[in-house]
Chains A and B, each alone.
Chain A
């Protein structure tokens, strides 16, 4: 009992001292950057490396430069477990002081997207979310740099056709997709392209409940004998598809995934058998890039944060770093333009609308070769950077193509039509008429 009393005393003392310490840290200028992370739940395996990368880049900036222009970055995770309900809880909890919303799931994005016009907080959904979000005049508060799913789909088509889409005439392309808003995203574009270029397109959905057992879907693929299988998969679906493809002896180099289907952890489960599998990606892991070495030096070696073994070289970890870089560059741009240290969400929106990742900037950031140059404007919230094909060599992903860019002329009309449709269904929907681009 006396021992317990002592513990209680120490505990109380600690509580008091930390409570006293808080006002001091609040008084300092800081930028609050919440992240609706998922380190638990069915998709945790893919979430953890991404969140680690995001967290560590910001920790590195705080340690190396003391934040951004002298303002500390307060990165804060709110755990959602990829659950929409928890996501909304997190959004409501953080929105009063949040500079940005990073929803991290298409479901949560769909929930917060209509609220963005009311709450006026930019949504940053790099490489995911709703493809028409790129249409900045209609989706004023949503950003999906550096490329949308439709860009990704177009890049893949360009790659398999060798640059000339008409050469796909008569071929058969199967899309194996998660039966959720995310997986259905590219279907309108593929259907459109199939009509235009004369290939056969077939979508095979994988229900969330059947992610780990896709034998029925692969039986259908075997029967259909497609020339290519494309995949929009997530979480356990990726590993499930890879092992089924190995089992059915599908030629791995004709099996291509979107950027979220190129996770080292998923492919490790099939290892050598998955050799040849490809995935389009707007990011390339370059472990000896200066920015990565700085993270190693200031964060990992300094034991500020710890990550799993080998995670440092993963595609997803380094992609997380780039995602935080989009955000901090947006903040920096806004700080310079408005000549302010602590910026508001409205100012950050301007910053994200004027991102300029040109060759020189990328080099200065120490991310040379990790990402292709792109630029956002008030009309274009994605930037539409190019991507590369990454190929699994049995133990890691390696770059296997030159820079591919999306066929924007084919995508823009569709993007505008769908964005208008969305605004129409959600009347009254304010649009940005000041933007004259």
Chain B
């Protein structure tokens, strides 16, 4: 009923090509965007901005970067956090070498460094696949984090070895650094995330996306129909690392405010891989659903006992929290191994066929 597609006729090719051919999908997206752009910012507290909204968006973006590579092009990577780190350090160097640079420009430029490094570490993908490739990207992970520690130039010879985000202004308003208000940071992140998401939806639907999917599904067949494997795989590495790098720069500049090399450790890579897998590989929506489950849910769970007036010792609560999240991950993967996005896809399918779902 809610999702009845009967009567929605496509009378032109443009209408058929539209991003959201089903009217209800477009409506739903509109509602979500309305919430993201208006209702959340108007109602959220500082706490909600800093622990729910901003991190969910940034983690979604990082996972989107990984998903382009792993979900669409089929190249398994365990080095996302390191590419994020390259983005963050590049942005740091750019903003300190050229103070007064527009932060959006700095972010856009910073993405090219991880993209280049992604191509270098993507070279083994021409020879190896699957788990073997994962090991090669793991090498990138360890090497780059080691480099962040040892190369003092990267952190401007700071004694603590950590990078601190300076106060950065855009159009007279602080957008990064301690002086920035949460709401400005949120809008900045939201803008970048929306832009890259829109770009990614289009790229995955178009020629490049189809090439990637062909390589993912069977690379020999793809080669036989005339796809240049090298170009396909390396472009996936480049674009994925670019997105991951931008998310890393956002991670440090618009959210954390400071970063030590250990932040970009392999744990972060795994966390992002979990988001991508639980959300659904090969989907854009899945990244957001996965990030909500992995990043936002633990924060919300911490609040529940307080709402009911129970006081549980904080350490115990943390243990319970970890167990609940673990159980939920297993539950969702058993119910739908293809991730939350697929779960939503099934629900939508049923809604379209309602009242006679099968």
Q: B166: which A residues are within 8 A, CB to CB?
A: 425-427
A81 lies within 8 A of chain B by Cβ: yes
Partner of B257, one of A92, A115, A130: A115
Q: How many residues from B make CB contacts under 8 Å with A? A: 34
B317 lies within 8 A of chain A by Cβ: yes
B159 lies within 8 A of chain A by Cβ: yes
- State whether A114 and B257 are in contact (beta carbons under 8 Å apart), knowing that A185-B159, A426-B166 are contacts in the complex: yes
- State whether A114 and B315 are in contact (beta carbons under 8 Å apart), knowing that A92-B47, A93-B51 are contacts in the complex: no
CB distance from A50 to the nearest CB of B (A): 13
Q: B315: which A residues are within 8 A, CB to CB?
A: 37, 39-40, 77, 79
Question: Number of residue pairs across A and B with beta carbons under 8 Å?
Answer: 103
**Which chain B residue lies CB-closest to A187?**
B159
B217 lies within 8 A of chain A by Cβ: no
Partner of A40, one of B164, B177, B179, B318: B318
* Contact residues, B72-117 vs A (CB, 8 A): none
**Which chain A residue lies CB-closest to B263?**
A84
CB distance from B319 to the nearest CB of A (A): 7
Contact A180 B262 (CB under 8 A): yes
**Which chain B residue lies CB-closest to A20?**
B309
Question: What separation, in Å, do the CA atoms of A187 and B158 have in the docked complex?
Answer: 12
* Contact residues, B309-333 vs A (CB, 8 A): 309-310, 313-315, 317-319
**Which chain A residue lies CB-closest to B50?**
A92
- Of B149, B178, B299, B319, most buried by chain A (CB within 10 Å of CB) is B178
**Interface size of A as a range:** 35 or more
Question: What separation, in Å, do the CA atoms of A89 and B314 have in the docked complex?
Answer: 13
Q: A39: which B residues are within 8 A, CB to CB?
A: 314-315
CB distance from B178 to the nearest CB of A (A): 4
Contact A181 B162 (CB under 8 A): yes
CB distance from A332 to the nearest CB of B (A): 26
Contact A117 B51 (CB under 8 A): no
Partner of A117, one of B47, B178, B314: B178
**Which chain A residue lies CB-closest to B99?**
A427
Contact B314 A111 (CB under 8 A): no
Contact B318 A81 (CB under 8 A): yes
Question: What separation, in Å, do the CA atoms of A107 and B262 have in the docked complex?
Answer: 10
Question: What separation, in Å, do the CA atoms of A398 and B246 have in the docked complex?
Answer: 53
A158 lies within 8 A of chain B by Cβ: no
Contact A88 B161 (CB under 8 A): no
Residues 256-281 of B, flagged 1 when their CB comes within 8 A of A and 0 if not, give 11101011010000000000000000
Contact A77 B313 (CB under 8 A): yes
Partner of B179, one of A78, A92, A188, A428: A428
Contact A426 B178 (CB under 8 A): yes
Q: B265: which A residues are within 8 A, CB to CB?
A: 208
Residues 420-433 of A, flagged 1 when their CB comes within 8 A of B and 0 if not, give 00100111100000
Contact A111 B160 (CB under 8 A): no
CB distance from B310 to the nearest CB of A (A): 7
Q: B258: which A residues are within 8 A, CB to CB?
A: 110-111, 114
* Contact residues, A66-84 vs B (CB, 8 A): 76-79, 81, 84
Question: What separation, in Å, do the CA atoms of A179 and B262 have in the docked complex?
Answer: 9
**Which chain B residue lies CB-closest to A12?**
B308
Q: B308: which A residues are within 8 A, CB to CB?
A: 15, 18-19
CB distance from B153 to the nearest CB of A (A): 15
- State whether A88 and B50 are in contact (beta carbons under 8 Å apart), knowing that A15-B310, A79-B314, A181-B260 are contacts in the complex: yes
Please give the residue numbers on chain B whose beta carbons come within 8 Å of chain A beta carbons, in ascending order: 46-47, 50-51, 55, 149, 159-162, 164, 166-167, 177-179, 256-258, 260, 262-263, 265, 299, 302, 308-310, 313-315, 317-319
- Which 6 A/B pairs are nearest by Cβ-Cβ distance? A114-B178, A39-B315, A181-B160, A18-B309, A19-B309, A79-B314
Known: A39-B315, A110-B164, A179-B149. 10 other contacts (CB 8 A): A22-B309, A37-B314, A79-B318, A84-B256, A92-B50, A93-B302, A96-B47, A106-B160, A111-B257, A208-B265
